[in-house]
Amino acid sequence: MDSLGAVAKGDKKPTDGEMFKSYNPKMVEAAWYDWWEQCGFFKPDTDSDKPPFTIVIPPPNVTGALHIGHALTNAVQDTIVRWRRMSGYNVLWVPGTDHAGIATQSVVEKKLQKEQGKTRHDLGRDAFLTEVFKWVDEYGGRICTQLRRMGSSVDWARCVFTMDETRSAAVLEAFVRMYESGCVYRDNRLVNWDARLRTAVSDIEVDYIDIPGRTLINVPGYDKPVEFGVLTSFAYPLEDGSGEIVVATTRPETMLGDTAVAVHPEDKRYEHLHGKFVVHPVSKRRIPIITDAELVDMEFGTGAVKITPAHDPNDFLVGKRHSLEFINILDDNGNINDNGGSFKGQPRFQARITVVDFLREAGLYRGVADNPMRLGISSRSKDVIEPLLKPQWWVACGDMAARSCAAVRSGELEVIPKEFEAVWFRWLENIRDWCISRQLWWGHRIPAYYVTFEGEAAEASGVPGRPSENMARWVVGRTREEAAAAAVAKYPGEQCLLHQDEDVLDTWFSSGLFPFSVMGWPSDTADLRTFYPGSLLETGHDILFFWVARMVMMGLQLTDKVPFKQVYLHAMVRDAHGKKMSKSLGNVIDPIHVIEGITLQGLHDTLKSGNLDPKEVARAVETQKTDFPEGIEECGTDALRFALVAYTTQARDINLDIKRVVAYRYWCNKLWNAIKFAMMNLPAGFQPLAQQQLAQQMPGWPPAARWVLSRLNSAVETINKAMEAYDFSTATQTAYAWWQYELCDVFIELMKPVMARDEAADPGAAAAKAATQQALFAALDNGLRLLHPFMPFVTEELWQRLPKTPEQASGCADHAGASIPSIMLAPYPTAQQDWSHPELDGQYEQAQAVVAAIRKLRSDYSLTRQRPTVCVACSSAARAEVIRALAGDIACLSTSAEVLLLAADAPVPPYSSVAIVDDVVTVHMLLKGILDPALELAKLEKKQAEAQGRVEAIRKRMGLPSYADKTPAAVQAEDGDKLAKAEAEAAAAVQHMEEMRKMVSQ
């Protein structure tokens, strides 16, 4: 069977036919998700008496398709959700997407420019928003499709969009309530201004680069690179003509807005200038010389600092302390405005050059020097961020931040890993108020209205968003009518005209409401009563402050509750080389490409169809050629999920190597073959024992049958503890190890001779087979359920093919007493005391040590098909008894003819090779008739000579006088490993040569 055939969407896939020859991810994953969704398996029950478990998805931005970081988030979350659902919780996982204001507007603007050669201003606000909604419809749908492909068991009936009607109403309500409580206010303060996008941006949208000194950087909108990393010195002439004072700046153009020169009050050099003035060489304004111990470092530069309160965060504070004038010299496009005099209209970085030229001509230029600095770059437009004075809406964060810190300290909110608590406290204890105004068209328009009076002159009313704005004129309302009523109440007798703020809210404002807005807040809904606060918030540690902290602050402010009880922060995904993933580097991985596979040319075509600059495309193509020379092999969803979750070690970044995903895809074939083996070895009509019967009969089973379930029981206990602690690495490694090394490599191999026993000639064969079959079924049934949260598709496919236990067949409370229809509704395995046999575990551990020693000897002598007899010498009576009892299993696993126990005083068998297991047990492999000692001796002599030659060559290289100083540490370490390996090979060859010489002489 190599095809699925016709299965209608939402119908259950038939699993009673012949299994595919080998695992095929495409065929295995087909149809299951639609069936799960159609059956309503993802939906919670609002009337259930099960404990609730609630989690909301970190809503992906509708800026494009999901990347591998989203895949990690959803793999981890779905693993948790499926585990909790199987563990008896009433689970709600809410999906949604984020409108992502500036990011979405930016990509749509790029698309318009590329396809139509137009800007949003060419289209106008309404037409542009129509284009954005087209984008949202396309990519929002694509994101939902990707989430389905990843197996995310979200409740699609509750899917939300941060700009849908309910969420928009929540945003309005939150803004109004926070305004009325004084938490939201209007103020004229510095913002991060992106002149390219003509909007303020949040701190998270600013990337900082370190510049060591003079550096030329390409800035959008400028034909030539712009110089950064230099300190320009110039003089301000004293008003009285008695001299000058020299200052320095990395931004000469901002001197047009200088309103003071500051010196340290204790600096003796400038005591005579306290209270005096300098003259601005451009505007001719009188500028005071002030003293400020908080800002000025006497040891830096000249000890005198120019103060530009409207364009520098530190200077802004100085301006407030000293009541200085705030002069903004830039318009929204980053050009010099009217306050720049003759420089008006010049782009800021052109003005940087012309201002310096002016200072030279005026005789005020005093030189330039390299100056290491950090430069803020907009992550959206790549423009240089400009601190700009703007009247904006702000959120007062101090009290909310204090409550958020208290919630963590009291244990009301748990941050995992705990080490991030320090980051939490550091950020929130040093928090600044939050600018929530954005000069965009896409987003939630701010429900604030500027009031003017009918017939009033513009000079009297002021202009909102400009320096002339009268901040007292703002009113706020959920609707225009509500705002109008507020205006009438505020200005009785006036004919009030309302002008709604053109700005929209920062995306993080609506995102901060997400945990309760998805439940229908501010309405008192059943979901809000049942599922809020949530149980867990799982996300990347990079947005701990920008999103997680804001959700906690706003949850406490608006609902008086923390929005979730735990925060689990996963690491960030990087490429196989540890580099941050970036579209321009070409190392961003689309999870669908990993699931379905893609050629190298397909990867290139995907790059070229995007919005990247041609130079970035060329660079990215080269990266892809290096990292994926053959493209990406089809891996399937289960392998990708398992790899991502297995990588998740708390607080460590993930260097994703696709080769590891491919390896798990082939491991899925191991699971496939295990079930095929079961189908061949479980008789028609096989009936699994009920749990109680199993416990009663198990003591009479063969040792291997009891051992495999004991090891399973240990794995179950470890995995459940690991899942509780969000230790996914341990959980996956434990599940993998049990399936691979204990079930497949040991038990299934030991089962084969049992199933081959002749019942007619062997009185105990039938009972041994029956017990072994029950053990195999219990192992596979529990093992698949153990794996299901990590690998939902292949486990469903295989579990459906197994017979059902009496418990599984007799009732599922969630489905009217019918048999359990899906593995995702079956109970997750829990530790069973009756299955635990630690003494037997220890015995098999001893036996496997003997097996490992025998296998090592077989490898040393290149024995493949030969089955030598093995004698085991043991100085411990207890150990000897274990080996005697398990001799048949040891022989089976080591491909030996038989395993014999030597008497304590027995001589060493002739023609044997020896391996020491430990200080008690020694293995002797009888080689007479298996190989020719003389011929083997010749091979070993050659092998020893080659190994010794490598030893001498490495020692010679390491002994060179320059080796220690000039050879990189990594190379030295590699040489050390090579030397140790060569020495071990030479020593082993010498040992085996001695054994062969003894055999030749016998």
* 155-166 per-residue burial string, b: 16 or more CB within 10 A, e: under 16: beebbbbbbeeb
| Tokens standing for residue 126 | 């309404």
| Contacts with 123 (C-beta within 8 Å, 6 or more apart), sequence order | 112, 131
The pLDDT mean for the chain works out to 92
132-146, 646-660, 689-703: least confidently modelled range: 646-660
Is 40 inside any structural domain? no
720: nearest Cα among 76, 80, 41, 93: 80
Q: What percent of the chain has pLDDT over 90?
A: 76
Cα-based distances in Å from 295 to 49, 190, 464, 698, 705: 61, 18, 32, 79, 76
Judgement on whether residues 347 and 472 belong to the same structural domain of the protein: no
3-class state of residue 598 by DSSP: strand
Residue 574, pLDDT above cutoff 90: no
Please state the rounded mean pLDDT for residues 132-138: 91
Is 454 inside any structural domain? yes
What number of helices (H) and strands (E) belong to the chain?
Answer: 35, 33
591: nearest Cα among 643, 627, 542, 654: 643
62: nearest Cα among 118, 116, 134: 134
pLDDT value of residue 4: 55
**DSSP 8-class letter at 742:** I
Judgement on whether residues 709 and 770 belong to the same structural domain of the protein: yes
User: Roughly what angle, to the nearest 10 degrees, separates helices 68-86 and 637-647?
Assistant: 90
Please state the rounded mean pLDDT for residues 291-315: 94
247: which strand partners? 234
Beta strands in 787-828, from DSSP E residues, in sequence order = none
> pLDDT for 842-881, tens place per residue?
999 999 999 999 999 999 888 888 999 999 999 999 999 9
| Tokens standing for residue 632 | 């990406």
Residue 18, pLDDT above cutoff 70: yes
pLDDT value of residue 1: 40
Q: How many Cβ atoms from other residues are within 10 Å of residue 486's Cβ? A: 19
| Tokens standing for residue 822 | 């899906």
| Tokens standing for residue 256 | 């047009």
Residue 814, pLDDT above cutoff 80: no
Sign of CA dihedral 678, 679, 681, 682: positive
* Residue 516 φ/ψ region, left for φ over 0, alpha for ψ in the -120 to 50 degree band, beta for the rest: alpha
pLDDT value of residue 815: 52
Judgement on whether residues 433 and 470 belong to the same structural domain of the protein: yes
Residue 248 backbone dihedrals phi, psi, to 5 degrees: -140, 150
Is 567 inside any structural domain? no
Please state the rounded mean pLDDT for residues 886-904: 94
Q: How many residues in total does the chain contain?
A: 1002
pLDDT value of residue 387: 96
839: nearest Cα among 706, 939, 936: 706
> pLDDT for 440-478, tens place per residue?
999 999 999 999 999 888 778 888 988 789 999 999 999
Please state the rounded mean pLDDT for residues 94-101: 94
| Tokens standing for residue 843 | 């015995």
* Residue 182 φ/ψ region, left for φ over 0, alpha for ψ in the -120 to 50 degree band, beta for the rest: left
Please state the rounded mean pLDDT for residues 143-151: 94
Give the Cα-Cα-Cα angle 586, 146, 517 (nearest 5 degrees): 110
Helix (H) or strand (E) holding 900: strand 898-901
DSSP per position, 274-309: TT-EEE-TTT--EEEEEE-TTT--TTSTTSEEEE-T
Q: Return the higher-pLDDT residue of 263 and 981.
A: 263
Q: What is the SS3 assignment for 54-120?
A: EEECCCCECCCCCCHHHHHHHHHHHHHHHHHHHCCCEEEEECEEECCHHHHHHHHHHHHHHHHCCCH
CATH code of the domain covering residue 421: 3.40.50.620
Is 191 inside any structural domain? yes
Residue with tokens 């630690």: 838
Sequence-distant contacts of 310-317: CB under 8 A, at least 24 apart? 310/190, 310/257, 310/388, 310/389, 311/190, 311/251, 311/254, 311/257, 311/386, 311/387, 311/388, 311/389, 312/190, 312/254, 312/387, 313/190, 313/387, 316/189, 316/190, 316/387, 316/389
189-198, 699-708, 965-974: least confidently modelled range: 965-974
> pLDDT for 736-784, tens place per residue?
999 999 999 999 999 999 999 998 899 999 999 999 999 999 999 999 9
Residue with tokens 């689309």: 590
C-alpha Rg value of the chain to the nearest Å? 37
pLDDT value of residue 369: 94
Judgement on whether residues 844 and 901 belong to the same structural domain of the protein: yes
Would you say 177 and 190 are in contact if contact means Cβ atoms under 8 Å apart? Answer: no
Is 765 inside any structural domain? yes
Judgement on whether residues 232 and 355 belong to the same structural domain of the protein: yes
- Amino acid, single-letter form, for residue 504: V
Q: Return the higher-pLDDT residue of 656 and 632.
A: 632
Helix (H) or strand (E) holding 734: helix 728-737
Listed residues 792, 812, 832: the one ending a domain: 812
As a whole number of angstroms, the distance between CA 406 and CA 420 comes to 15
CATH code of the domain covering residue 798: 1.10.730.10
The secondary structure of the chain in percent helix, strand, coil, rounded to multiples of 5, reads: 50, 15, 35
| Contacts with 302 (C-beta within 8 Å, 6 or more apart), sequence order | 233, 245, 246, 247, 248
Residue with tokens 């928003």: 129
Please state the rounded mean pLDDT for residues 905-926: 86
Please state the rounded mean pLDDT for residues 629-641: 95
As a whole number of angstroms, the distance between CA 715 and CA 719 comes to 6
Judgement on whether residues 232 and 349 belong to the same structural domain of the protein: yes
User: For residue 578, what are the domain limits?
Assistant: 573-634
Please state the rounded mean pLDDT for residues 335-359: 97
Is 899 inside any structural domain? yes
Q: How many Cβ atoms from other residues are within 10 Å of residue 730's Cβ? A: 16
pLDDT value of residue 817: 53
Judgement on whether residues 673 and 611 belong to the same structural domain of the protein: no
Judgement on whether residues 680 and 713 belong to the same structural domain of the protein: yes
Listed residues 588, 608, 634: the one ending a domain: 634
pLDDT value of residue 205: 83
Residue 564 backbone dihedrals phi, psi, to 5 degrees: -160, 160
As a whole number of angstroms, the distance between CA 910 and CA 926 comes to 7
Q: What percent of the chain has pLDDT over 70?
A: 98
Judgement on whether residues 288 and 429 belong to the same structural domain of the protein: no
- What pTM was computed for the model? 0.88
Helix (H) or strand (E) holding 839: helix 838-860
Q: Report the largest interatomic distance among the alpha carbons of the chain, rounded to a whole angstrom.
A: 123
Q: How many Cβ atoms from other residues are within 10 Å of residue 763's Cβ? A: 8
587: nearest Cα among 553, 610, 621: 621
How many domains are contained in the chain? 6
Judgement on whether residues 393 and 478 belong to the same structural domain of the protein: yes
Please state the rounded mean pLDDT for residues 184-196: 95
Listed residues 603, 634, 665: the one ending a domain: 634
Is 553 inside any structural domain? no
As a whole number of angstroms, the distance between CA 554 and CA 513 comes to 7
pLDDT value of residue 2: 45
Is 546 inside any structural domain? no
Please state the rounded mean pLDDT for residues 603-612: 82
Judgement on whether residues 222 and 249 belong to the same structural domain of the protein: yes
- Amino acid, single-letter form, for residue 758: D
| Contacts with 181 (C-beta within 8 Å, 6 or more apart), sequence order | 557
Helix (H) or strand (E) holding 984: helix 969-1001
Judgement on whether residues 725 and 799 belong to the same structural domain of the protein: yes
pLDDT value of residue 646: 92
Do the strands 564-570 and 534-540 form a parallel or antiparallel pair, or are they unpaired? parallel
Helices (H), 574-635: 591-596, 600-608, 614-627
3-class state of residue 199 by DSSP: strand
Residue 656, pLDDT above cutoff 90: no
